[in-house]
Chain A
Amino acid sequence: MPTRSGAIGAAFMGSRWADWSPVGFDTDPAPGDRDMVEALVVHLRTWSGRLERQSVVARQVLDTHLGSSSWSGLAADVFSARLRALEAAAAQAAARHTEGVEAASRWSSSMMFAQADADRALRDAEEALADLEAAEASVAALGAEQAALSAALRALEKAYDSREKPAPGSSAPGHGEVTSARLREQDASDKLASARFTVEDAQERLDDAKRRAERARREYSEAEKTFADALDAALHGASAPVQQPELQAFASVVGKLSHISASASVNASLMATLQRLTPEELAALVASDPKLLQRFWEHPPSADQVAKWWSSLGDEAKDAFETAAPGVLGNLAGLPYGVRGRCNRAVYEVALLRTISLTSEQRKVLVALEKILADPSASLVSLNLDATVPMVAVGYGDLDTADTVTWAAPGMNSDAADATEGWSRAAKNLYDEQVRFDAGRSHAVVGWLGYDTPDVVSVSTPALAQDGSWRFADELDGTYATRSASVSASFPYVSVVAHSYGTTMAADALTRVTHAVDSFTMLGSAGIDTQVVTSLSDLRVKQSGEQPAIYTTAARLDFLAPFGSAVGGRAEPNPEALANPGTMFALPVTGLTMPKSMSGAQSFSSEGTVLPSGEVLKQTKGHSVLGENTEGPNALNGIAPEGSGYFDKGTEALRNASYTTIGLPDNVAGGLRSTR
């Protein structure tokens, strides 16, 4: 503890006990023990070094001991992800502690200077005060003496100047006596003046010391605030506490995952993960590596195996898995849709609580879902807000029991952020139509927004369709799998309906499904990718009579679909669309190469008609799913007028699609024509 004259080395909140009144303070203007601050520096530096070393060791273990030649497979991936997260967390913590070290070091220096200044000021003030007291006493004494001498001098001078005869027994003062008295009085006056000067000087020194003490206090306070601000700025980045049971569960998870062969596919590894882990372990795994949810999405385990695994579980285990890992189960094709719906609802509700941390696209999906899920017939078939773009699927009807299940795939510019509301409405329109015209059976429709849909540029390439087709195929197989795993359930009529580029993606998917679907209906197709589908007979679609149950329609006023098909170099499933102005507009782009067509479907009209009952079905007058009135440019009739889109209620396209998707093609207005 630093001491100085008059200061006592004791501490209360670092105050150095002393009488600070000479500089005008009740307490120490610069309290603190610099040795303690230096100890704090050492403490923080030690922690910083320890954390930095832990980060470095984690990196070294990853690089040296856990390279792909040393360890591979799901266990290695999961463990390495956790260790990488630890490395980053330790480095972050070390950096924050280093900031603390720097702040405390600066504070130590500032405190030292402020205390030295304050101490010096106090010492000077004490000296000045002592001088002041002595000088004031001296002034008092000298003043009295000078006054007495002055009075005596005046008396002598009066007597010396008097012409009166001195009183008997006395004599008149002589010249020398008066002169001597004058000298004594002058000397006293000089001493008094000197003493008064000393008082003024001491007062000035005292005032200066007070000013310096005040400046020291101010500089101390500013430095202290800088120190506190720097420490407060380092209050971020700490890892969330980890409970021992969670760590033990993680270790157990890694141990169990180590049983899975490194040569197994990701899909198979994830299936084995589900089969081996307890619900608690699966929860620990997801918590330790949130990217695992995306792995399940991108590489889903076989729907058939998922269904078998689920049916092998007891009710208690099923409940536990639902609670433990809703993010995994909600998007697992092969599970009952009731389970998936509950899980996805749980994920959705958690997302609602963290909207502040979501992207604008994610928030838009949540806003759209709020309105959609108010409909009691709606359910969340899938939900993945953290995919490359948010993805969602909304179901209408009971997918676990419905006699028919239709999967609806959208086309260009239909990412969930922008299309959840519109595509779900389209799906609901189809569902309502199915229910209305086939009341004897139960129906379900899924509006599937489960792939990254193209924009106006990428629509001419097949990549996004091919990427999305894997997951779509998995979902289609899931409908079969979940019913086959249930003893009491009957198989539904499973159909696919797609619009625009969605037909490209769905056709790709139908080459990849394990289980054939009952029908495939294309509305305003943007063409078939001949790299994947060389003929419609490649599609795993069942027969309807003599022909595959593949249906197609292209509105005469939809110029965009044939344009996109031609520009993308894809095969047009509607041969009459080759004469559409949209195809003609594409010729300059395609180098005047006439686009191909692909036969093998059955075509129906979307041009509007009057039914024998007198009911008028409207014409589709553009490319969009749902029409809207627009005053802006509308290239190639991309936007149909309000009420005149393919999925708008009252259109011939929707009515006919509702029949083809539930296995009633004979009811199609205007009948079917084989495409050639």
Chain B
Amino acid sequence: MVRSVGVDADQLRAGAKALKGAVTGSRPSADESNGFGALVALGAVSRFEGYWVRGQSTIDELVAGLGGALDLAADTYLRRDAADAHAFRSDRGGFHGF
């Protein structure tokens, strides 16, 4: 019996592609300059960069990782549907009516 899977694997693939596209291109990198001002300004820029550089990478990694997870889910559904279809075909001969 084929299950009601409630999945459009093509949509999952499209979603995965969109997510992966959001992490392409070069990542802007901070210029380690000391021309941002006096010590107060330099310290503030340094703290900002130090705090956010990890947060920027995390978002990038999550976007890419979730794109990968969506691809994996699409693969799983396709395999499952294929397995269900195979099982359905195999079962045909076993039905002899009431």
Q: How far is the CA of A11 from the CA of B68 in the complex (A)?
A: 46
CB of A70 within 8 A of CB of B8, answer yes
CB of B72 within 8 A of CB of A37, answer no
CB of A258 within 8 A of CB of B6, answer no
CB of A250 within 8 A of CB of B59, answer no
Q: Which of the four size classes fits the interface of chain B?
A: 35 or more
CB of A247 within 8 A of CB of B18, answer no
CB < 8 Å neighbour of A258 from B22, B44, B65, B76: B76
Q: Does A630 contact B (CB under 8 A)?
A: no
CB distance from A241 to the nearest CB of B (A): 5
Q: How far is the CA of A224 from the CA of B4 in the complex (A)?
A: 62
Q: How far is the CA of A64 from the CA of B12 in the complex (A)?
A: 10
CB distance from A78 to the nearest CB of B (A): 10
CB of A263 within 8 A of CB of B3, answer yes
User: When A32-B35, A35-B35 are in contact, do A231 and B47 touch as well, CB less than 8 Å?
Assistant: yes
CB of B73 within 8 A of CB of A258, answer yes
CB of A242 within 8 A of CB of B34, answer no
Q: How far is the CA of A51 from the CA of B42 in the complex (A)?
A: 24
Q: How far is the CA of A238 from the CA of B55 in the complex (A)?
A: 5
CB of B37 within 8 A of CB of A227, answer yes
* A residues near B65, Cβ cutoff 8 Å: 242, 247-248, 250-251
* B residues near A389, Cβ cutoff 8 Å: none
CB of A11 within 8 A of CB of B35, answer yes
Q: How far is the CA of A343 from the CA of B5 in the complex (A)?
A: 35
CB distance from B79 to the nearest CB of A (A): 9
Q: How far is the CA of A235 from the CA of B50 in the complex (A)?
A: 10
For the A-B complex, the count of residue pairs with Cβ-Cβ distances under 8 Å equals 213
Q: Does A262 contact B (CB under 8 A)?
A: yes
Q: Bits for A241-257, please: 1 = Cβ < 8 Å to B, else 0.
A: 11010011011101110
CB of A54 within 8 A of CB of B59, answer yes
By beta carbon, the residue of chain B nearest A243 is: B61
CB of A47 within 8 A of CB of B18, answer no
* A residues near B15, Cβ cutoff 8 Å: 61, 64-66
Q: Does A111 contact B (CB under 8 A)?
A: yes
* B residues near A89, Cβ cutoff 8 Å: 58-59, 62
CB of B66 within 8 A of CB of A50, answer no
CB of A247 within 8 A of CB of B37, answer no
CB of A57 within 8 A of CB of B44, answer no
CB distance from A65 to the nearest CB of B (A): 3
Q: How far is the CA of A227 from the CA of B36 in the complex (A)?
A: 10
By beta carbon, the residue of chain A nearest B75 is: A255
* B residues near A46, Cβ cutoff 8 Å: 28
CB of B69 within 8 A of CB of A36, answer no
Q: How far is the CA of A508 from the CA of B5 in the complex (A)?
A: 35
* A residues near B51, Cβ cutoff 8 Å: 235, 238
Q: Does A673 contact B (CB under 8 A)?
A: no
Q: Bits for B16-46, please: 1 = Cβ < 8 Å to A, else 0.
A: 0011011101011111011111111111110
By beta carbon, the residue of chain A nearest B69 is: A251
By beta carbon, the residue of chain A nearest B28 is: A46
Contact segment of A79-87, A141-149, A310-318: A79-87
Q: Does A218 contact B (CB under 8 A)?
A: no
Q: How far is the CA of A11 from the CA of B12 in the complex (A)?
A: 53
Q: How far is the CA of A33 from the CA of B41 in the complex (A)?
A: 12
CB < 8 Å neighbour of A32 from B41, B60, B76: B41
Q: Does B96 contact A (CB under 8 A)?
A: no
Q: Which of the four size classes fits the interface of chain A?
A: 35 or more
Which of A83, A241, A244 has the largest number of chain B CB atoms within 10 A?
A83
CB of B28 within 8 A of CB of A31, answer no
CB < 8 Å neighbour of B38 from A14, A73, A75: A14
CB of B6 within 8 A of CB of A13, answer no
CB of B66 within 8 A of CB of A82, answer yes
Which of A57, A71, A89 has the largest number of chain B CB atoms within 10 A?
A71
CB of B44 within 8 A of CB of A232, answer yes
CB < 8 Å neighbour of A14 from B3, B11, B36, B75: B36
Which of A73, A238, A240 has the largest number of chain B CB atoms within 10 A?
A238
CB of A263 within 8 A of CB of B44, answer no
* B residues near A70, Cβ cutoff 8 Å: 7-8, 11-12
CB of B69 within 8 A of CB of A100, answer no
CB of B59 within 8 A of CB of A90, answer yes
* A residues near B40, Cβ cutoff 8 Å: 221, 224-225, 227-228
CB distance from A601 to the nearest CB of B (A): 46
* B residues near A60, Cβ cutoff 8 Å: 18
CB of B28 within 8 A of CB of A242, answer no
CB distance from A489 to the nearest CB of B (A): 37
CB of A58 within 8 A of CB of B11, answer no
CB distance from B59 to the nearest CB of A (A): 5
Q: Does A69 contact B (CB under 8 A)?
A: yes
CB distance from A85 to the nearest CB of B (A): 9
User: When A43-B30, A239-B58 are in contact, do A255 and B69 touch as well, CB less than 8 Å?
Assistant: yes
Q: Does A53 contact B (CB under 8 A)?
A: yes
CB of B44 within 8 A of CB of A255, answer no
CB distance from B25 to the nearest CB of A (A): 8
Q: Does B85 contact A (CB under 8 A)?
A: no
CB of A31 within 8 A of CB of B62, answer no
By beta carbon, the residue of chain A nearest B30 is: A43
CB of A66 within 8 A of CB of B11, answer yes
CB of A71 within 8 A of CB of B11, answer yes
User: When A235-B48, A241-B54 are in contact, do A263 and B76 touch as well, CB less than 8 Å?
Assistant: no
* A residues near B28, Cβ cutoff 8 Å: 43, 46-47, 50
Q: How far is the CA of A83 from the CA of B12 in the complex (A)?
A: 13
- Of residues 252 through 272 on chain A, the ones whose CB sits less than 8 Å from some CB of chain B are 252, 254-256, 258-259, 261-263
A-B pairs with beta carbons under 8 Å apart, 28 shown: A13-B38, A14-B35, A32-B38, A33-B35, A33-B36, A40-B45, A43-B28, A43-B30, A50-B25, A54-B59, A57-B19, A58-B66, A65-B15, A79-B66, A90-B59, A221-B38, A227-B40, A231-B47, A237-B55, A239-B55, A244-B61, A252-B72, A254-B69, A258-B73, A258-B77, A258-B80, A261-B5, A263-B6
Binding site for A on B (CB under 8 A): 3-8, 11-12, 14-15, 18-19, 21-23, 25, 27-31, 33-45, 47-48, 51-52, 54-63, 65-66, 68-70, 72-73, 75-77, 80
- Report the 10 A-B pairs with minimum CB-CB distance, sorted nearest first: A238-B55, A33-B35, A262-B6, A36-B35, A65-B15, A228-B44, A247-B65, A251-B69, A72-B6, A70-B11
Q: A64-B11, A65-B14 are in contact. List 19 more A-B contacts (CB 8 A).
A: A14-B34, A37-B37, A47-B56, A54-B23, A57-B19, A61-B70, A71-B6, A71-B7, A79-B73, A89-B62, A96-B52, A224-B38, A231-B45, A231-B48, A240-B58, A241-B54, A242-B65, A247-B65, A262-B5
